[in-house]
Chains A and B, each alone.
Chain A
């Protein structure tokens, strides 16, 4: 892995040794000046000078998701494919159409809102100076490996307590999202193509409850690690907890609790059919309320609460450190693969450069990647906990640089 600049030097080997030094410096000089001139043009994804910037892509993705959700709602209003299998569940069973209309209106709006908020973060990165983190054939493999290390939580598992907690929440959340999506897909399919019935439904119900249970275990674990008895709280988390952490955990807990609450009353409302035993959490819960009055009303209330807590999730996703779901793997993907670990960033030749501003004293002095760094940071405090200056009572707190 030669640093880029070494390759450039190799091209100038035929010159005298002195001029070789100078020519490299001039190249540095030129590239940095060009960099200073182009300002914020070079976004993380958009090529230099392209009218499409990274935040446009974020908006497009958000609008795309919202459109699909809205279309799905519209489709269900006109197309009615029924599955008459006894072992299955109805989508929106017992939910009034006015609720459905609100659901399919509000959720797309929330998704667009979320993408606008996230695009604002991306625009913030675009204020930074250029930094070449291009994916090339040479580094593509490493980049993908770095990315996988992110989404598979490999680096987090270095500390098992944090890694397992994260995995429980993240993977189960993804499964639950898939469970909901599968239900919706099945809902839209023509009757003949529907698959969510019989043993498939039993397995589906089991997987859904298992994921929900794992998710709740992860959330409770996270709450104990952050707010539980002192002996369960790592030093780094004690010093770094902020109100937004409580909000995030509260919303997650609400999603999990209302999810099971909705399921419990839905099963009870439909008379606790035998096959729902495969919902091994929801079914026993349903027995607690079986025969109670106004099950339909309770079911609707829990359903609304579940939808509202999901909307809360969409709101806090781009606006709190929860955005690290996206930014952290992206940040790992963009890890510097050209500069050696021990090398500082090059500066132009100080004798000849016309640049008059060096270093960083404001946001715009950092590169877009450094600004992305700050959004990938979750204030986990690991950096501070290993800092020798912090450990010996000096004012330095590396996490604050984010």
Chain B
């Protein structure tokens, strides 16, 4: 009889080791491919919650990120006062105070990586410039923006997640923010799908979706934009499988003349993770091959001269992976799609206006089926 079976309280960890549980990047590929809808990721995250909340049994490196999030409001222990520093390079970006009512249409939620990481600050600058070009009324929170809590939650530390999230929700609700643009799919997912659990309900838009709408509506003029490159788009897990956004980033790149889009073998619902999701960004990767090396090699094998990302972690991981594979920036250049887009527009302007594209330059979109079902 079932009820007669007695097992020790945490017997499960005799069979599934904590190392396994911490290896997960929460990329959701398992859930997505399961033909019978088994919720695998939920179980792994439940076990992380146990390890983190009940036993404080988490990789030591993660402890540093936790302390940084708790004390500095971001996982890299950077000074919050520098959060809006990138805006010095983009005149006209307004930093608003959470004590005042929000008078702009959109809040541009930059995220920690976009604010502090050198590579990703370029994404932020490009996105802000594109928004300005399209005449979008937006502002940033600057020093008052804090980590959304995604890395804390995905690693099981619900205390820390709620601490950060409640503060953010209080700020946004207090200001009356209704529309949020994010460039980080992790911020996007947390604010869109998890802040409602804490009373924060906003229209959250990822910059790939927003840029797509700006291009298709003509607010962002790409008629002269040109990029003669072979581009492979690397799917972000939190944009793709977690939120079913596969087309928007591809359409943004596909809108550029001269671009040839190629697809990696694993794309769309089967796209391979960069290795940094689920707080893996802040954990050592010491067992086996590095996930980003494996993925970068797959992207390089497509013969692409450029890799387009739509996530700050993917950007860092793919850039590192491509460089580790011995490819210099002039051979394979990794950048966020906003950077490719801005570059194409600026190049088109520099080349003189209105040069007609030749028929042979018509974009070839080799989209393998995305099996978005």
The residues of A with any CB-CB pair to B shorter than 8 Å are 3, 5-6, 9, 17-18, 20-21, 23-25, 28, 120, 123-124, 127, 146, 150, 155-156, 158, 162, 324, 328, 331-332, 335-336, 340-347, 349-351, 357-363, 365-366, 369-370, 373, 376-378, 380, 382-389, 391-398, 400-402
Contact = CB atoms under 8 A, between A and B. Distances in A.
B36 A21 contact: no
B243 interface: yes
Interface stretch (B7-15, B67-75, B250-258, B346-354): B7-15
Interface string B162-176: 100010011001100
Given A377-B38, A396-B23, A341 B201 contact: no
Contact of A393 (B53, B174, B287): B287
Nearest to A332: B37
A374 to B, nearest CB: 8
B359 interface: no
B220 to A, nearest CB: 27
B40 A351 contact: no
Q: How many B residues are at the interface, by size bracket? A: 35 or more
Interface string B184-228: 000001001110111111000000000000000000000000000
Interface in B218-249: 238, 241-244
A402 B238 CA distance: 24
Contacts of B32: 386
14 contacts: A17-B170, A21-B200, A25-B199, A332-B37, A340-B243, A344-B153, A347-B49, A360-B49, A362-B7, A369-B39, A373-B38, A373-B40, A382-B34, A392-B294
A394 B23 contact: yes
The dominant DSSP class at the A interface is: helix
Interface stretch (B78-86, B132-140, B267-275, B307-315): B267-275
B20 A395 contact: yes
A359 B49 contact: yes
B192 to A, nearest CB: 7
B112 interface: no
Contacts of A24: 197-199
List the 9 closest pairs (A to B, CB-CB), nearest first.
A393-B288, A359-B50, A359-B49, A342-B242, A383-B30, A361-B10, A360-B46, A343-B193, A155-B35
A396 B24 CA distance: 7
Given A9-B199, A24-B199, A361-B10, A389 B51 contact: no
B158 A394 contact: no
Contacts of A162: 35
Nearest to B266: A386
Given A376-B38, A396-B23, 5 more contacts: A21-B199, A328-B36, A347-B162, A382-B35, A391-B272
Contact of A388 (B12, B242, B294): B294
Contacts of A343: 189, 193-194, 197
A369 B43 CA distance: 11
A336 B241 CA distance: 15
B40 A383 contact: yes
A18 B162 CA distance: 14
A357 B158 CA distance: 12
A21 B169 contact: yes
Nearest to A28: B197
B265 to A, nearest CB: 12
A78 B268 CA distance: 64
Contact of B20 (A156, A324, A397): A397
B113 interface: no
Contacts of B24: 389, 396, 398
A358 B54 contact: yes
Nearest to B50: A359
Contacts, number: 226
A5 B294 contact: no
A389 B43 contact: no
Contacts of B196: 3, 5-6, 9
B20 A396 contact: yes
Contact of A365 (B7, B42, B46, B156): B46
Contacts of B47: 359-361, 401
B25 A389 contact: yes
Contact of A361 (B13, B27, B174, B290): B13
Given A124-B2, A344-B153, A358-B54, A387 B242 contact: no
Nearest to B41: A398
Contact of A120 (B2, B7, B158, B189): B2
A341 B38 contact: no
Contacts of B194: 342-344
Given A340-B192, A365-B50, A388-B25, A398 B294 contact: no
Nearest to B194: A343
B54 A359 contact: yes
Contacts of A397: 20
A386 B270 contact: yes
B54 A361 contact: yes
Contact of B243 (A127, A342, A347, A373): A342
B362 interface: no
Contacts of A377: 36, 38
A388 B20 contact: no
A345 B373 CA distance: 23
Contacts of B23: 389, 394-396
B248 to A, nearest CB: 16
A127 B2 contact: yes
